[in-house]
Amino acid sequence: EKIREYSRIDLSGVELNLQLSLHGSSDPQRQLVMPRASAVASLISILDACEEFASTHSRRVVVNYLLLEGVNDTIIDAHRLAKLLSPDRFSVKVSALNAVPNAPVIGAGRESLALFSSVLRDCGLEARVFVSVGSDIGAGCGQFSNAPL
């Protein structure tokens, strides 16, 4: 698969970190959240390539996981995600979707963020909550997508 080619790029002398936008703990869930990305490769093939990258370059891959209320924010999702990720190869950055008018989904609340990341840490993963700045004035990540120019 093409995804494996990226993990084999010679980066001798280059300090590079890799982040993966995952946003789902199963292929069907990821398909729902990221239809185009999941059409490229399966969850397992992407994670295998990331494991290879982490092993080859002695760096953890940061998994970005956007919590969407009622979509991918349960304790079951957190445990399923933890089973997919090796603690010595991955760390997780959990965040909530910034409020966007008329969006079909909403971001999980602070309590869900804290609980989700806590479950990941209890499973041995390095996990932190990412708090977006600027969302209070409509300037957070993704908030300009529907804004008139």
For 61-114, the pLDDT digits (tens) are 999 999 999 999 999 999 999 999 999 999 999 998 877 777 778 888 899 999
pLDDT at 34 over 80: yes
Q: What is the pLDDT of residue 143?
A: 47
pLDDT at 45 over 70: yes
What is the distance between the alpha carbons of residues 85 and 149, in angstroms, rounded to a whole number? 41
* pTM for the model: 0.85
Higher confidence at residue 58 or residue 92?
Answer: 92
Q: What is the pLDDT of residue 2?
A: 57
Report which of 42, 121, 31 is spatially closest to residue 82, judged by C-alpha positions: 121
What is the distance between the alpha carbons of residues 21 and 138, in angstroms, rounded to a whole number? 22
For residue 146, report the phi and psi dihedrals to the nearest 5 degrees.
-110, 5
Report which of 140, 146, 147, 3 is spatially closest to residue 66, judged by C-alpha positions: 140
Q: What is the pLDDT of residue 119?
A: 98
pLDDT > 70 in the chain, percent: 79
Report which of 13, 11, 19, 14 is spatially closest to residue 90, judged by C-alpha positions: 19
On whether the CB atoms of residues 5 and 35 are closer than 8 A, the answer is no
Q: What is the mean pLDDT of the chain?
A: 84
Q: What is the pLDDT of residue 13?
A: 75
For residue 88, report the phi and psi dihedrals to the nearest 5 degrees.
-85, -5
Q: What is the pLDDT of residue 124?
A: 98
pLDDT in tens, 139-149: 556 545 555 55
DSSP H stretches of helix in the chain: 2-7, 27-33, 35-40, 43-57, 75-84, 110-122
**96: amino acid identity, one letter:** A
**Residue 19: pLDDT band by 50, 70, 90 thresholds?**
very high
